[in-house]
């Protein structure tokens, strides 16, 4: 087997790892939402949010270990995997990953003139973005959410509850995959230095 073929297979394996893991552990991930006593109407958005934030966390591990080019290839393989399973689903996952990225780069903080300084926890920012941005959410906004939207939910406190669910899922992904990613003997692609 040549080096390029082996590296391509490694990227393919990296793409499948979290999908197989989360499918096998589906009951564990679903329990996180039940533990937070979140209304049944939010079940789909909880499941989708866990998948998306877990994939986002996994992609971060890939990026730190192998670089952003490998991470992009893993995302594309995953898009194809999900689209093969259900047409358009992979594209929806990528769109949701972009919601997460925007939420984490927005850097929501309290206004400078306020006496109490506040920086929104990352998982809360992601929870709000997904609650308002995922079409399967009871709180979905077809337009770009306004600041007033962040406080209005069908279920009061669902944003903080989802944030705790996301944090638990993130911890599970990091605990499971940090050591596993280190087992790959070679990076999935060559980096040429001039």
pLDDT digits 0-9 by tens, 20-46: 999 998 888 788 878 888 888 888 899
Q: Per-residue pLDDT for 2 more than 70?
A: no
* 108: phi then psi, degrees, rounded to nearest 5: -70, 120
Query: Does residue 83 lie in a domain region?
Result: yes
Query: Does residue 174 lie in a domain region?
Result: yes
pLDDT of residue 28: 80
Query: Does residue 190 lie in a domain region?
Result: no
The domain total for the chain is 1
CB 155 within 8 A of CB 42: yes
List Cβ neighbours of 127 (8 Å cut-off, separation of 6 or more): 49, 159, 160, 162, 163, 166
Q: For residue range 39-85, list pLDDT tens digits in order.
A: 888 888 999 999 999 999 999 999 999 999 999 999 999 999 999 99
Query: Does residue 188 lie in a domain region?
Result: no
User: Which of the pair, 12 or 56, is modelled with greater confidence?
Assistant: 56
Bridge partners, 109 (sequence order): 119
pLDDT average, residue stretch 168-186: 86
Bridge partners, 119 (sequence order): 109
> Distance between CA atoms of 13 and 6, rounded to whole angstroms?
10
3-state helix, strand, coil in the chain (%, to 5): 70, 0, 30
pLDDT of residue 111: 54
CA distances from 126 to 10, 45, 167, 193 (A): 30, 12, 10, 37
pLDDT of residue 143: 63
pLDDT of residue 176: 93
Query: Does residue 37 lie in a domain region?
Result: yes
Q: For residue range 102-152, list pLDDT tens digits in order.
A: 999 876 554 556 566 667 889 999 999 999 899 989 888 776 655 555 555
Nearest alpha-carbon partner for 10 in 106, 74, 53: 74
Query: Does residue 192 lie in a domain region?
Result: no
pLDDT of residue 192: 40
pLDDT of residue 7: 61
pLDDT of residue 174: 95
pLDDT of residue 80: 96
pLDDT of residue 77: 96
Domain range enclosing 16: 3-181
In the chain, pLDDT over 70 holds for what percent of residues?
Answer: 79
Query: Does residue 94 lie in a domain region?
Result: yes
Query: Does residue 189 lie in a domain region?
Result: no
Angle formed by the axes of helices 68-85 and 43-66, nearest 10°: 150
């Amino acid at each position: 087997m040549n080096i390029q073929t082996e590296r391509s297979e490694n990227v393919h394996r990296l793409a499948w790892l979290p999908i197989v893991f989360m499918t096998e552990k589906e009951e564990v991930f679903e329990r996180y939402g039940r533990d937070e006593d979140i209304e049944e109407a939010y079940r789909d958005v909880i499941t989708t949010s866990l998948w998306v934030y877990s994939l986002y966390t996994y992609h971060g591990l890939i990026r730190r270990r192998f670089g952003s080019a490998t991470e992009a290839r893993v995302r594309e393989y995953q898009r194809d995997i999900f689209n093969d399973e259900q047409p358009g689903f992979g594209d929806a996952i990528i769109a949701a990953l972009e919601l997460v990225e925007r939420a984490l780069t927005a850097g929501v903080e309290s206004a400078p003139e306020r006496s109490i300084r506040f920086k929104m926890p990352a998982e809360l920012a992601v929870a709000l973005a997904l609650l308002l941005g995922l079409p399967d959410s009871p709180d979905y906004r077809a337009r770009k959410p306004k600041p007033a939207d962040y406080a209005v939910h069908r279920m009061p406190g669902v944003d903080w509850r989802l944030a705790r669910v996301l944090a638990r899922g993130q911890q599970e992904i990091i605990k499971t995959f940090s050591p596993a990613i280190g087992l790959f003997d070679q990076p999935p692609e060559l980096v040429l230095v001039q």
